[in-house]
Amino acid sequence: MRNDFWRTGVVLAAALFILAPVGLIVWQSFLTDAFFSVRAKSTVDTYGFVLSDSGFWSALRNTVILSIGMVVFAVPLGSLLAFLMVRTDMPGRKWIEPAIFLPLFMSPMVLAFGYIVSIGPSGFWSVWWERLFGAVPFWNVYSMPMLVLVVALTHVPHVYIYVSTALRTVPSDLEEAARVAGGSPLTVATKVTLPLVWPSIAVSAVLVAFLGFELFGLPYVLGDQDGRLVLATYLYKFNTLLGRPAYQMMAVVVIFIMLVTLPLVIMQRRMLKSAQRYSTIGGKATRSHLVPLGKWKWVAFAGVLIWLYAVVLLPLSGVALRSVVTTWGPLVAIRDVLTLDNYHKLADLPLIRRSIVNTLILAFVGGFASLCVYALIGLASHRSRSESTKVLDFLVLLPRAMPGIVAGLVVFWIFLFVPVLKPWVASLGAMWVAYTLVWLPFGLRLVSNSFGQVGRELEEAAHVTGAGQARVAKDVILPLAKHGLLAAWLLSFLLYAREYSTGIFLMGQGNEVMGTMLVSLWNGGNIDVASSLAVVNTIVIAGGIALALRLGVRLDA
Amino acid sequence: MSFLKHPALRRPLLALIATTIPCLALAETPAGYPAGYAETIAKAEAEGSVVVYANTEHAAVEPILADFQKAFPKIRVDYIEIKAADLFSRISSEAAAGALKADMVWSSAMDLQFQMVEDGIAAEYQSVEKAAVPEWSNWGDKIYGITYEPVVMVYNSKVIPYGEMPDTRASLAKWLQENKERMKGKVATYDPERSGLGYFAVSADAQNSDDLWPLVTAFGAVDTKFYTSTGTMLEKISAGEHAIGYNIIGPYAYLRAERDPNVKVVVPKDYTVVLSRLAIVTQQAQHPNAARVFLDYLLSKRGQTVVGNEAHLFAIRPDVTGKATIAGLTAEYGNVLKPVAIGPDLMDAIQPMPRMNFFRKWADALKAGK
């Protein structure tokens, strides 16, 4: 038996990292006031209050609809997109790849606002439509079906990252064999490729469903005017509904979100029961071949373009247009309101430069540090059959049940009330801890999925020849799983770069980040500067990613 | 110069020179401040910085911070912007942990600010500028109003021609009922349930007059849209998606009107609620002197001139002139202005039961119009 001491250590540390915030929330949910208040007494009435509120049930209904909509649309589309990009000879793949990530690093609030400017009732695409067809547009950007559509389409990249990472490790010899035997591209995709990457698709489906439960930005902006709430925006309402923030109400809602996650986790375990059969990185070197699409390749290309148009061009054109005008809408002629002032104003704010630098540090360095944490936890539970790692499997999903702002508040409280941590509250470090916690389920799944794809025989061969666990990790698992590791780093980078709500309570002097700046400018009514900053933000990050991909930091390296 | 030799004149003159010279050496001491103030400044400079937690957005506050830096180059302002309710969470948590970082808290959530006074977070400090600002604008030397911001109506003049827009609550209610079809979905205001500021403003309306309730019924009749953020409302009014915004905070409205000539501001003629961004110096302040110097600066003629004329937040000091000042507003609108009293009554707005009752009445009035 190998020494499992370090595994237990890592698993325990990870469990503490997750359970401390969760425990605090559970405790808070049974109090009448903030846990640190002298007025706080214990009670269970809060649960009754929330359950008897019709607003809760309608928010829950909306959330479930959105969540299901995301799984139903985003998972097949994201998987298909991954297949087209990685496995086929579809034209334009080189430049499409960076574009796929664009929706990921636009703050959801800005994204939603972009849709209002482009296809809202006064939006310029709507105005064009009206001039062209002489009729009022058939869509309503504030309606529920539109919200489902927008939310689903903008989460396609999340699925893409998982599935494409898995696809890149699947050797193509099986597909080739199928093709040689006369299978059409469709047959090859559904009969051969799909089963091979099924675990990754299942994982991404569960994670996307999770994201559905904590959606905030898009429904916050698009559902605002009609008061259409989802759980996270319903929860946020308790910040002001009773006058002072009602933490106990928020805690109860978070606990309900956590309870909903239970069946999802069980479902995921079922789907992955036989995941080990799918380990696909073997000892043989194989060169990957592309599936020729024939005449279908242009159909596929057009489909991808339509998707890009919907999730990138529409919102981005809205924001970009807004950044060069003083106002917009059918009542003004664009040439009368054009201005570059919004960009000049950016230069007047010394903060902007600092926030760009901070964002890049947090996203790049912090993203890498988080990746190391995820890799360590991933290695600890890799091929482990102990009960503790099974428990961990469930635990890692819990942090995502907390909307970002709640997670940030809880991490803030922990730093504040745990004496050894107190000096670091409101530092970039505390912010990093919160980010790492919030995105743990995503990073870890990506990493451990990749670890799972490494053939067991390779590890065992190394063990047999006398390598210890550290050696196996360093020389076998980590190098073979580098696709997944790089993808996890990229994902962390993208998500950290736009994260907003998690940092609100941990912000101190000098650690402003772009996401926070954007949303506060936007909330403060300074949409002029918010739009120009959003454009700069997009250009900076898109440039960074294009450069990285060009320089060879490729997912398929 | 022979009079200098006269002993009766010479002594006081020398005494005057003796007291003036040290003041000249410390040129920063603003004119008219008591002699001991130089010491406060020296201590503040030794502290080196002041940490301000506030909810006024960076872009608006930037000119104030820049001018303060010019006046007191040795005191750095660490300005941290957080939304009102989150600001309250952060302050009360930090204070409970005995780790309050803020030396000053400055927020437009008047009710929550007063709760902090009540919770013992505010320190007592008699500002040297106290005599120059309205007496009602400070309470117990613990909390100071810095601005004088009218709550206004806004409309898009391309949708509603100039002259047609009503300027009282009663006439707006009547007009909306008469133009029900045309105004369907065209009116925007805060959702009092989801916006702390929105509730505060509209409950102040209700206290001033019962005219609010027919207006709420009219809101129901025209399918009014309810928002949580001023930014979105003004943006959509500007774009023509909405035509009227009710209860918009003055500085935002005027700033928008300045950038977009189609957006017009109406100061209601029946009564206009006036809010103030309230500042407190904290009990646990680690830079108490710097906080005092910053507070005095905010209330000083120089500071208020920047607050009003550059930050457009409406100066509360009567001897500052310009458009965005109490003087400018009073000259134009005089007795319709109803500033919210600063005192313990502010906390009525954050008692759960009255709020729930208000929401019920609000919902009923809306439903009556549908």
Tens digits of pLDDT across chain B (370 residues): 444 445 555 555 555 554 544 444 444 577 788 888 999 999 999 999 999 999 998 888 999 999 999 999 999 999 988 888 889 999 999 999 999 999 999 999 999 999 999 999 999 999 999 999 999 999 999 999 999 999 999 999 999 998 999 999 999 999 999 999 999 999 999 999 999 999 999 999 999 999 999 999 999 999 999 999 888 899 999 999 999 999 999 999 998 998 899 999 999 999 999 999 999 999 999 999 999 999 999 999 999 999 999 999 999 999 999 989 999 999 999 889 999 999 999 999 999 999 999 999 999 999 999 8
- Pick from B82, B92, B263: CB nearest A504: B82
**What's the confidence (pLDDT) of residue A413?**
93
In a domain, B339, yes or no: no
Q: What is the 3-state secondary structure (H, E, C) of A138-202?
A: CCCCCCHHHHHHHHHHHCHHHHHHHHHHHHHHCCCHHHHHHHHCCCCHHHHHHHHHHHHHHHHHH
**What's the confidence (pLDDT) of residue A105?**
73
Q: Are the C-beta atoms of B256 and B234 separated by less than 8 Å?
A: yes
Name the residue in chain B with its Cα closest to that of A234: B194
Query: DSSP class of residue B104?
Result: E
| Angstrom distances, CA of residue A505 to CA of A47, A386, A428, B105 | 26, 37, 12, 15
Q: Which of B55, B305, B322, B292 is nearest to B197 (CA)?
A: B55
What whole-number distance in Å separates Cα of residue A26 and Cα of residue B331? Answer: 56
Q: Which of A334, A338, A315 is nearest to A117 (CA)?
A: A315
In this complex, do A524 and B57 lie within 8 Å of one another by their Cβ atoms?
yes
In a domain, A397, yes or no: yes
Name the residue in chain A with its Cα closest to that of B80: A509
Is A195 an 8 Å CB contact of chain B? no
| Pair of tokens at residue B67 | 């001018």
**What's the confidence (pLDDT) of residue B14?**
53
| Pair of tokens at residue B284 | 């646990």
**What's the confidence (pLDDT) of residue B10?**
55
In this complex, do A36 and B96 lie within 8 Å of one another by their Cβ atoms?
yes
Name the residue in chain B with its Cα closest to that of A419: B97
In a domain, B52, yes or no: yes
Checking if the pLDDT of A223 tops 60, the result is: yes
Q: Are the C-beta atoms of B142 and B280 separated by less than 8 Å?
A: yes
Distance from CA of B154 to the nearest CA of A (A): 14
Distance from CA of A482 to the nearest CA of B (A): 40
Q: Which of B280, B274, B221 is nearest to B247 (CA)?
A: B274
Q: Which structural domain, as residue segments, surrounds residue B170?
A: 149-274+348-369
Q: Are the C-beta atoms of B263 and B23 separated by less than 8 Å?
A: no
Angular region, A118: left φ>0, alpha ψ -120 to 50, beta rest: alpha
Name chain A contacts of B232, Cβ cutoff 8 Å.
Answer: 113, 221, 224-225
Mutate to test the interface with B, among A36, A240, A427 (most CBs of B within 10 A): A240
In a domain, B18, yes or no: no
**What's the confidence (pLDDT) of residue A556?**
45
- Residues B240 and B298 grouped into a single domain: no
Question: Among the ranges A149-158, A348-357, A423-432, A469-478, which has the highest mean pLDDT value?
Answer: A149-158
In a domain, B320, yes or no: yes
What whole-number distance in Å separates Cα of residue A433 and Cα of residue B365? Answer: 47
- pLDDT tens sequence across A534-543: 898 888 777 7
In this structure, the number of other CB atoms found within 10 A of the CB of residue B327 comes to: 17
In a domain, A426, yes or no: yes
Name the residue in chain B with its Cα closest to that of A351: B58
Mind giving me the DSSP string for A313-350?
IHHHHHHHHHHTBS--STTS-HHHHB-SHHHHHHHH-H
Q: Are the C-beta atoms of B209 and B169 separated by less than 8 Å?
A: yes
The residues pairing with A338 across neighbouring beta strands, listed in sequence order, are A325
For the four alpha carbons of B78, B84, B86 and B90, in that order, the dihedral sign comes to positive
What is the average pLDDT across A439-445?
86
Name chain B contacts of A224, Cβ cutoff 8 Å.
Answer: 227-229, 232
- Residues B363 and B245 grouped into a single domain: yes
What whole-number distance in Å separates Cα of residue B343 and Cα of residue B338? Answer: 15
| Pair of tokens at residue A129 | 């439509």
| Pair of tokens at residue A171 | 């050797």
| Pair of tokens at residue A96 | 């499409």
Q: Which of B248, B273, B269, B266 is nearest to B168 (CA)?
A: B269
Distance from CA of A202 to the nearest CA of B (A): 37
Is A500 an 8 Å CB contact of chain B? no
At a CB cut-off of 8 Å and minimum separation 6, what does A62 contact?
A144, A219, A223, A228, A229, A230
- Residues B137 and B284 grouped into a single domain: yes
The total domain count for chain B is 2
Name the residue in chain A with its Cα closest to that of B102: A508
In a domain, A468, yes or no: yes
The domain spanning residue A522 has which CATH number? 1.10.3720.10
In this complex, do B239 and A327 lie within 8 Å of one another by their Cβ atoms?
yes
**What's the confidence (pLDDT) of residue A1?**
42
Alpha carbon B182 to its chain centroid, in Å, reads 35
A 27-86 residues inside an 8 A Cβ radius of B: 34, 36-37
Q: Are the C-beta atoms of A542 and A98 separated by less than 8 Å?
A: yes
Name chain A contacts of B90, Cβ cutoff 8 Å.
Answer: 412, 505
- Residues B215 and B122 grouped into a single domain: no
**What's the confidence (pLDDT) of residue A229?**
93
**What's the confidence (pLDDT) of residue B158?**
94
In a domain, A368, yes or no: yes
Is A529 an 8 Å CB contact of chain B? yes
In this complex, do B93 and A36 lie within 8 Å of one another by their Cβ atoms?
yes
In a domain, A288, yes or no: no
A 252-271 residues inside an 8 A Cβ radius of B: none
Mutate to test the interface with A, among B108, B111, B230, B232 (most CBs of A within 10 A): B232
Residue with the larger pLDDT of the pair A236 and B205: B205
- Pick from B92, B111, B195: CB nearest A34: B92
Q: Which structural domain, as residue segments, surrounds residue A398?
A: 1-21+339-556
Checking if the pLDDT of A159 tops 80, the result is: yes
At a CB cut-off of 8 Å and minimum separation 6, what does B173 contact?
B211, B214, B215, B217, B218
Query: DSSP class of residue A475?
Result: I
Alpha carbon A303 to its chain centroid, in Å, reads 23
In a domain, A247, yes or no: no
In this complex, do B90 and A116 lie within 8 Å of one another by their Cβ atoms?
no
H/E stretch holding B266 reads strand B263-266
In this complex, do A504 and B86 lie within 8 Å of one another by their Cβ atoms?
yes
- Pick from B82, B88, B240: CB nearest A330: B240
- Pick from A417, A510, A529: CB nearest B59: A529
Distance from CA of A32 to the nearest CA of B (A): 13
In a domain, B341, yes or no: no
Least confident of A192-196, A319-323, B340-344: A192-196
- Pick from A237, A508, A523: CB nearest B194: A237
**What's the confidence (pLDDT) of residue B27?**
43
What is the average pLDDT across A496-514?
79
Q: How many residues does chain B have?
A: 370
| Angstrom distances, CA of residue A278 to CA of A175, A432, A442, A456, A459 | 15, 34, 20, 11, 16
- Residues B143 and B281 grouped into a single domain: yes
In this complex, do B194 and A521 lie within 8 Å of one another by their Cβ atoms?
no
What whole-number distance in Å separates Cα of residue B336 and Cα of residue B152? Answer: 12
What whole-number distance in Å separates Cα of residue A105 and Cα of residue A494? Answer: 5
- Residues B189 and B313 grouped into a single domain: no
- Residues B74 and B137 grouped into a single domain: yes
What's the count of helices (H) and strands (E) in chain A, helices before strands?
30, 0
| Angstrom distances, CA of residue B99 to CA of A354, A434, B95, B122, B142 | 26, 20, 6, 15, 20
- Pick from B158, B191, B241: CB nearest A120: B241
- Residues B172 and B64 grouped into a single domain: no
Specify the 3-state DSSP secondary structure of A216: coil
In this complex, do A416 and B94 lie within 8 Å of one another by their Cβ atoms?
yes
Checking if the pLDDT of A306 tops 80, the result is: yes
Name the residue in chain A with its Cα closest to that of B77: A509
* Cβ contacts from A onto B, under 8 A: 168
Mean pLDDT of chain A: 84
**What's the confidence (pLDDT) of residue B204?**
96
Mutate to test the interface with B, among A238, A327, A334, A337 (most CBs of B within 10 A): A327
A 332-361 residues inside an 8 A Cβ radius of B: 332, 345, 348-349, 351
Distance from CA of B39 to the nearest CA of A (A): 27
Specify the 3-state DSSP secondary structure of B213: helix
In a domain, A264, yes or no: no
Q: Are the C-beta atoms of A225 and B225 separated by less than 8 Å?
A: yes
In a domain, B26, yes or no: no
In a domain, B25, yes or no: no
- Residues B200 and B107 grouped into a single domain: no
A 362-391 residues inside an 8 A Cβ radius of B: none
Name chain A contacts of B350, Cβ cutoff 8 Å.
Answer: 242-244
In a domain, A156, yes or no: no
| Pair of tokens at residue A256 | 């309900």
Distance from CA of A420 to the nearest CA of B (A): 13
Is A527 an 8 Å CB contact of chain B? yes
Checking if the pLDDT of A19 tops 60, the result is: yes
- Residues B92 and B126 grouped into a single domain: yes
In this complex, do B62 and A348 lie within 8 Å of one another by their Cβ atoms?
yes
The domain spanning residue B258 has which CATH number? 3.40.190.10
Checking if the pLDDT of A172 tops 80, the result is: no
Residue with the larger pLDDT of the pair B282 and A199: B282
Name chain B contacts of A528, Cβ cutoff 8 Å.
Answer: 259
| Angstrom distances, CA of residue A288 to CA of A91, A174, A354, A556, B36 | 17, 10, 44, 11, 81
At a CB cut-off of 8 Å and minimum separation 6, what does A205 contact?
A71, A75, A159
Specify the 3-state DSSP secondary structure of B319: coil
Phi and psi of A310, rounded to 5°?
Answer: -70, -40
In this complex, do B99 and A425 lie within 8 Å of one another by their Cβ atoms?
yes
Mutate to test the interface with A, among B94, B203, B229 (most CBs of A within 10 A): B229
**What's the confidence (pLDDT) of residue B16?**
52
What whole-number distance in Å separates Cα of residue A465 and Cα of residue A189? Answer: 38
Q: Which of A382, A381, A401, A387 is nearest to A262 (CA)?
A: A401
What whole-number distance in Å separates Cα of residue A148 and Cα of residue A61? Answer: 13
- Residues B67 and B101 grouped into a single domain: yes
Least confident of A42-56, A350-364, A504-518, B344-358: A504-518
Name the residue in chain A with its Cα closest to that of B357: A242
In this complex, do A329 and B241 lie within 8 Å of one another by their Cβ atoms?
yes
- Residues B263 and B285 grouped into a single domain: no
Mutate to test the interface with A, among B57, B223, B262 (most CBs of A within 10 A): B57
The total domain count for chain A is 1
What is the average pLDDT across A108-125?
90
The residues pairing with B266 across neighbouring beta strands, listed in sequence order, are B153
Is A415 an 8 Å CB contact of chain B? no
**What's the confidence (pLDDT) of residue A196?**
80
In a domain, B337, yes or no: no
**What's the confidence (pLDDT) of residue B294?**
97
